[in-house]
A and B are shown apart, each in its own frame.
Chain A
């Protein structure tokens, strides 16, 4: 286990270095982790620890006090041999400060201009970085200005070419630091040279592991587990963060959860880890748990917008209208032009059945971020609700084209086609979605239903699907019932009985009653009677007697029959001889 103290020291130094280079989001991330570390009890009064969660002002004061006192490099850090780099330059001082201020005021070109003749690594990095951002900003603007009639918008970052030239030259001469390598990786990635980009990013994180930006760029380049495993990363606790997030993206949720659990040992109060854990739990469909986690998260960090769309999904799934509206209102006040906010509002309207409005908000979210996957999928759902299947299909298809692993969109496509009476065509899409999420009973059930439609009517295949659904712990209990019925339909009473029994067992354990139960009981009673297993038959018959209706009469007559066969005598009327 890495010592908390060393982590804290590392991060503290890193935050300084990152914000010095205007890598604000990385600094933000590091800061979050820093306060996420449990405070050293020796250094802090009990009141401080008590207030650690929830009282940010105290925490901040506390940490600033300390960071001034201990800027020394980490000592006794066993796992990583990465020394914190020395801050090399003090020389470029004035100009650098000016450039930094420009940068912070989002005047990127100005910032890079100020640093035009500075040769120190730090200045070079900031110059290139601001140039890159200037190009990105222009690109975004152009994308809207240039939107062509057939959707053409191939605006590019015009600084990429020169940046690549410069950075590669620096790399060749070895005058590049890990931040430069990070930027080089980003530029290469934008230019579509993924292998080189990966190499450059790996080099960057190996020499300076605290730059979360570099890690997340690297993670976006790891599209398969093979690529991930092939990376040559030196050990550091930051690597654990990276792996956890990479596993999550590769849908290896349990592995990811394990990593986060480990990290939580050090960063016990990290909001980030909590949100990520919630994300993983969400994928495992542990909604109750996720809801609690998010509530907790919001209590500590009430103005958080990140990942809140996920929370809204949970609330949606739980049909918690009020909570969802509260959340929507809150994020709306915090920052209404965030894709997440729009998505949450869209979810709210969707839950309220106002699908047109929902679509409008999803559209807005997509306007803000064209590649916002879940908005496309959710919009598809809305269109399905509005019975506008072609539009739904279009939306789903876009989601799938952005990320071919999005099983929800594949599933949506399948559903849309099934709705249009094309079950055979839909099967392909269901198969796709199952390929990406083989452990979800809902998908298997959807596919089974497709096979069951009268147009296709391939019952054997349907049975296979339901079996898979059962093995994936089908929570809604459709599969068992359907399996039993299908077997019954195909005249395989033995199998049918087995599944009915299982179904009854399940309903008993969940305390469910209903027509399904009655049906199962009646079948089982008659089945066991015909097979001369009178004990079982009697048990089921007596259970039926609890219900009213025609079944009760049937049960009675069954019981009579059982008696008769058991004793070999003609039975007497039950009414007359109550037991």
Chain B
């Protein structure tokens, strides 16, 4: 196949390798003395040997050190004979004046190898065993050189010249080298400067960590890594540069010229395909995690470079697609996605493709469809996405790619559940896939359920653990929101239990979280190519504190293999993301079921444990929940302060929900403070966020009209409010939004209560309660009960006893989990009940009432809910009046007056948020 990647990473002779060879020649000269000339002690000799060993081990790196770096390192190793070593090295290089010298040099190299069969070497002889690490290295070099054509030798020769020249120029003064740098990088100077800075800071850190020692092991590969990774690092570190600036810049010169060099010079780049793929995978993760907060142009420039270096590395296109996706550039994203799949046929670098299944003759274009579908979804074209995914299902079936099918089904169910497409029949009616064709009779919810089940089954048989886990989570989400119902119910058996099932939600969440244990149990099978090598790269980032070439170097982990093992038990990012999502889901479910502390706890767990690995949208959601919690339980001041922080953090994220939250909070706040105009405006803005398409963004639309009804209610336009609520209820019914139905019913009851029509309100309240019961919405039920009680009281004071009983029934729930408003309402209502109960005497039992009222007024003040607060103070004043405590009465009365005036003259003192 024309476009497939050829395996990279052939061993090529480079100037750096020749340096190592020269040093090896010093270490084991062919004249077999017991201790070769310059070495004064055996330990010195050994030290060089260890150093060479590490050099040979790192010779496959993405970047090779410059001669200058090498000389610096030699200085550390060589101690008193460093001058001699470096002199020898440079002299040897300058003696290479023609390609013929190179030929001779490699002929000489052959001499330092011992013969293969001479096992019986004398003790004090220094012979390079051809099978040792060093020997192998020499042999590989010789072989690679012998394979070179004459042109190749010439190129090697010129690159040696460049290699030496650079060392000279950069060992010159700082200014000179700076000039040199300037001429080296004419284009994209800006980018380079960035790299330089990052590189500089990084070098300094390394040096600090290595306590002054040169961190010799592979510090150049990071150059590439830092090229991009460095851009993600906050710029704080820059402040630390001042002390070592000169030195750092020198190092930076070297490293940046490395980067530059690879652009113009061949052969220095690209170790293995493996590694590059892993590196790209890492970048992809970074793009996802940081969302659009990442500068897309910097990634773009990096990708451009990479593409220049490796035009056949098609994964670059995929990364570019991701990048464009996150910077919301639809056309470029589409273009790059298509290009990637055109070139790679879906077979390059995708972990969905198990090597065992083999890439068929036909390529794996179904993955292209899957990705395209998800892209359309993200850009908000649900119908298009559904079309594409349907095609993906079909093609996957056709090519019997079950893995892809499972993923596609999951994506499809996700799409359906998120978008809740209204008239899916028109969309899905055309498709003839077995999964969807039967489904045309079913509601969207049922279809989602089928898809999920199907996907789960496949994922389970294929042992796609992550998919299984995320499917379980999706299932939990589904169970959380939807009523269990037989898929096809015929005949008179219609009286099915309409009930959500918290147990199964819990079960699904737990099953989802099993992923973690699965991973630690059989991690080795789960590491896919990319993450393995990227883990390896990550290791490089961590500088080793241990002195590497000290005498007890055996304590160091001897090979990267052990580090692999180390890392295998740690959790890949994608897994921790899913686990994190499970916590978020837990929080959401507790929110619905009405346990505020549990919701808060789970969110906090998420934010603390999974904040690093989470995608930006998930992190945003967590923040959202926490802020909502603050607003409900601590009042607006704290919430707005937190919101400000969150805004800074997430404003760049596309489709930010923060804006939504802000509008919600502002609306709520305005309602409480009686600023109805503002409330109305916020409400309208909220509605404006939703898409105009029917059936899309349903939740947002419901939210908006719910809020509209509440605003109307606050404006005492009861009939209009009732109208809005009624139509809202119809919408909810049409789109099968059960939970929203319950709250709409409650709102209707509320409207009737406020309009003084308690009799009409009662059935709504009761209906709401029964809804809440079947959906296990405990908190909402408590609040409905409160409304019910209020309605009873509204029927006359003779019902006070009954109302009080109802209230006391709901009290534990309200006080335990309710927000400030609900609690205050309950307190006030309790006081009201007592006061209107004819059998209750204020003078004897005043504390019961006053306590509740005091509680209520405290909470309401935090909430700035003027209307209720006024009511509380009014009641308080009345009670004090009855008791004859005039001073306190006056105090309460002034507070009452304050709240009333505040309510009547709402100033626009928005806390600089709107």
CB distance from B315 to the nearest CB of A (A): 11
- Which residues of A sit under 8 angstroms from B343, Cβ to Cβ? 394, 397
Report Cα–Cα, A390/B368, bound state, in Å: 13
**Would A425 and B270 count as touching, CB distance under 8 A?**
no
User: Chain B nearest CB: distance from A191 CB in Å?
Assistant: 9
Residues of the A chain whose Cβ atoms lie less than 8 Å from the Cβ of B310: 148, 150-152
CA separation between A154 and B1, bound complex, in Å? 23
- Residues of B close to A393: CB separation below 8 A: 342, 345, 363
A413: CB under 8 A from chain B?
yes
B726 at the interface (CB under 8 A from A): no
Scan A301-318; emit 1 where CB is below 8 A from any B CB, else 0: 000000000000000000
Contact partner of A149 among B9, B338, B339, CB < 8 A? B9
Q: Would you give the shortest CB distance from A429 to chain B, in whole angstroms?
A: 8
A546 CB–B CB distance under 8 Å: no
Residues of A within 8 A of B380 (CB): none
Q: How far is the CB of B293 from chain A (nearest CB, A)?
A: 30
C-alpha spacing A393/B273, complex, angstroms: 23
Query: B308 near A: Cβ within 8 Å?
Result: yes
List chain B residues, Cβ under 8 A from A145.
Answer: 149, 151-152, 155
- Of the candidates B339, B369, B431, the one whose C-beta lies within 8 Å of that of A401 is B339
Asked if B496 is at the interface (CB within 8 A of a chain A CB), the reply is no
Give the contacting residue for B311; candidates A151, A423, A424, A457; CB below 8 A.
A151
What's the Cα separation between A390 and B345 when bound, in Å? 6
Q: Across the interface, do A154 and B308 meet the contact criterion of CB distance under 8 Å?
A: yes
Establish whether residues A151 and B339, one from each chain, have CB atoms under 8 Å apart when the complex forms: no
- Summed over the interface, the residue pairs from A and B with CB atoms below 8 Å come to a total of 117
**A422 with B365: CB separation less than 8 A:** yes
Chain A hits for B313, CB < 8 A: 150-151
Least distance between A110 CB and chain B CB atoms (Å): 19
Q: Considering only CB atoms, which chain B residue lies closest to A383 in the complex?
A: B2
Decide: B395 and A422 in contact? CB cutoff 8 A.
Answer: yes
Q: Contacts A145-B151, A422-B365 given: A152-B309 contact, CB under 8 Å?
A: yes
A169 to chain B, nearest CB (A): 16
In the bound complex, residues from chain B placing their C-beta under 8 Å from that of A458 are: 430
Name the A residues within 8 Å of B9 (CB-CB): 149
Inside 8 A of A425's CB, which chain B residues have their CB?
Answer: 365, 368-369, 372, 388, 391
Complex contact A394–B430 (CB within 8 A): no
**1/0 contact string of B359-381 vs chain A (CB within 8 Å):** 00111010011001000000000
- Please tell me if B269 contacts chain A, counting CB pairs below 8 Å: yes
Measured CB to CB, the closest approach of chain B to A147, in angstroms, equals 9
Q: Is B493 an interface residue (CB 8 A)?
A: no
Contacts of A149 in B (CB 8 A): 6-10, 270
Interface size band for B: 35 or more
Question: In the complex the two chains form, is A456's CB within 8 Å of B430's CB?
Answer: yes
Closest residue of chain B to A456 (Cβ to Cβ) is B430
Whether B394 is near chain A, meaning CB under 8 Å from some CB there, is: yes
Report the Cα distance A150→B349, complex, angstroms: 14
Q: Considering the complex, which residues of chain A in the window 382-400 have a beta carbon less than 8 Å from any beta carbon of chain B?
A: 388-391, 393-397
Asked if A498 CB lies within 8 Å of chain B CBs, one says no
Q: Are A422 and B311 in contact (CB under 8 A)?
A: no
Shortest C-beta distance, B529 to chain A (Å), equals 16
Mark out the residues of chain B between 151 and 178 whose CB falls within 8 Å of any chain A CB in the assembled complex.
Answer: 151-152, 155
Chain B residue at smallest Cβ distance from A392: B2
Closest to B388 in A: A424
Whole-angstrom distance between the Cβ of A447 and the nearest chain B Cβ = 15
CB distance from B907 to the nearest CB of A (A): 55
Q: Give complex CA distance A422, B371 in Å.
A: 14
Of all chain A residues, which has the CB nearest B272? Answer: A149
A398 to B10: give the CA distance in the assembly, Å: 26
Residue of A nearest to B391 (CB): A424
Asked if B1 and A394 sit within 8 Å, CB to CB, the answer is yes
B155 neighbours in A (Cβ, 8 Å): 145-146
Interface residues of B in 436-480 (CB under 8 A from A): none
Given known A-B contacts A148-B266, A150-B313, A421 and B398 have beta carbons under 8 A apart: yes
| In the complex, B312 has a CB within 8 A of chain A | yes
Nearest-Cβ distance from residue B261 to partner chain A, whole angstroms: 12
Bound Cα distance A149, B267 (Å): 10
Interface string of B60-104 (1 = CB under 8 A from A): 000000000000000000000000000000000000000000000
* Nearest-Cβ distance from residue A4 to partner chain B, whole angstroms: 49
Q: Is A420 an interface residue (CB 8 A)?
A: yes
**A417 CA to B5 CA in the complex, in Å?**
22
In the complex the two chains form, is B387's CB within 8 Å of A424's CB? yes
In angstroms, Cα B3 to Cα A401, docked, is 14
Cβ contacts under 8 Å, B151 to chain A: 141, 145
Which of B10, B362, B391 is within 8 Å of A389, CB to CB? B362
Report the minimal beta-carbon distance from B316 to chain A, rounded to whole angstroms: 10
The complex places the Cα of A388 from the Cα of B4 at a distance, in Å, of 14
* A456 proximity list for chain B (CB < 8 A): 387, 430
A60 to B8, CA, bound (A): 57
In the complex with contacts A146-B266, A390-B362, A455-B391, A397-B1 CB distance below 8 A: no
Is B840's CB within 8 Å of the partner chain A?
Answer: no
- Given contacts A151-B312, A425-B391, is CB(A390)–CB(B3) below 8 Å? yes
Q: Is A454 in the interface zone, CB < 8 Å from B?
A: yes
Contact of A455 among B266, B269, B311, B394 (CB under 8 A): B394
Q: Which residues of B contact A391 (CB under 8 A)?
A: 1-3
**Chain B residue with Cβ nearest A458:** B430
Whether A422 and B363, one on each chain, are in contact in the complex, defined by CB atoms closer than 8 angstroms, is: no
Known interface pairs A397-B342, A425-B368; A150-B270 also in contact (CB < 8 Å): yes
- Asked if A156 is an interface residue, CB under 8 A from chain B, the answer is yes
Which among A146, A152, A156, A423 is the interface contact of B391 at CB below 8 angstroms?
A: A423
Indicate whether B263 reaches chain A with its CB closer than 8 angstroms. yes
Q: Is B120 an interface residue (CB 8 A)?
A: no
A456→B368 CA distance, assembly (Å): 18
CB-CB nearest in chain B for A454: B432
Specify which chain B residues have a CB less than 8 angstroms from the CB of A152 in the assembled complex: 266, 269-270, 308-312
Tell which of B264, B270, B361, B391 touches A422, judged by Cβ atoms closer than 8 Å: B391
Q: Within residues 460 to 488 of chain A, which ones have a CB less than 8 A from any CB in chain B?
A: none
- How distant is the Cα of A457 from the Cα of B426 in the complex, in angstroms? 12
The chain A residue sitting closest to B430, CB to CB, is: A457
Q: Could you tell me the distance between the alpha carbons of A153 and B313 in the complex, rounded to whole angstroms?
A: 13
Inter-subunit contact A154/B362 (CB<8 Å): no
Give Cα A145 to B152, complex, Å: 7
Which B-chain residue is minimally distant from A154 (CB atoms)?
B308
- Which residues of B are found within 8 Å of A455, using beta-carbon distances? 391, 394, 431-432
User: What's the Cα separation between A156 and B263 when bound, in Å?
Assistant: 10
Is A428 engaged at the interface, CB distance under 8 Å to the other chain? yes
Contacts of B1 in A (CB 8 A): 388, 390-391, 394
Q: What residues of B have a CB within 8 angstroms of the CB of A389 in the complex? A: 362-363
Which one, A148, A395, A423, contacts B2 given CB within 8 A? A395
The distance in angstroms between the C-alpha atoms of A388 and B1, with both chains bound, is: 9
A480 CA to B430 CA, complexed, in Å: 25
Instruction: Report B271 CB to chain A, min CB distance, Å.
Output: 10
- Complex CA–CA separation, A156 to B3 (angstroms): 24
Q: Is the CB of A150 within 8 A of B432?
A: no
Contact B311 A388 (CB under 8 A): no
Whole-angstrom CA separation of A389 from B2 in the bound complex: 11
Most buried by A among B338, B342, B398: B342
- Do residues B2 and A394 form an inter-chain contact, with CB atoms below 8 A? yes
Asked if B339 and A397 sit within 8 Å, CB to CB, the answer is: yes
Q: Look across to chain B and name the residue whose beta carbon is closest to the beta carbon of A391.
A: B2
B5 partner residues in chain A, CB cutoff 8 A: 150
Min distance, Cβ A32 to any Cβ of chain B, angstroms: 37
New A-B pairs, 13, CB < 8 Å, besides A152-B312, A417-B365: A146-B266, A148-B267, A151-B6, A152-B269, A154-B309, A391-B1, A394-B343, A413-B342, A420-B363, A421-B398, A424-B388, A455-B432, A457-B430
13 A-B contacts (beta carbon < 8 Å): A146-B266, A148-B309, A148-B310, A152-B269, A154-B263, A389-B363, A390-B345, A391-B1, A425-B368, A425-B388, A455-B394, A455-B432, A458-B430
A-binding residues in B (CB < 8 A): 1-3, 5-10, 149, 151-152, 155, 263-264, 266-267, 269-270, 273, 308-313, 334, 338-339, 342-343, 345, 361-363, 365, 368-369, 372, 387-388, 390-391, 394-395, 398, 430-432
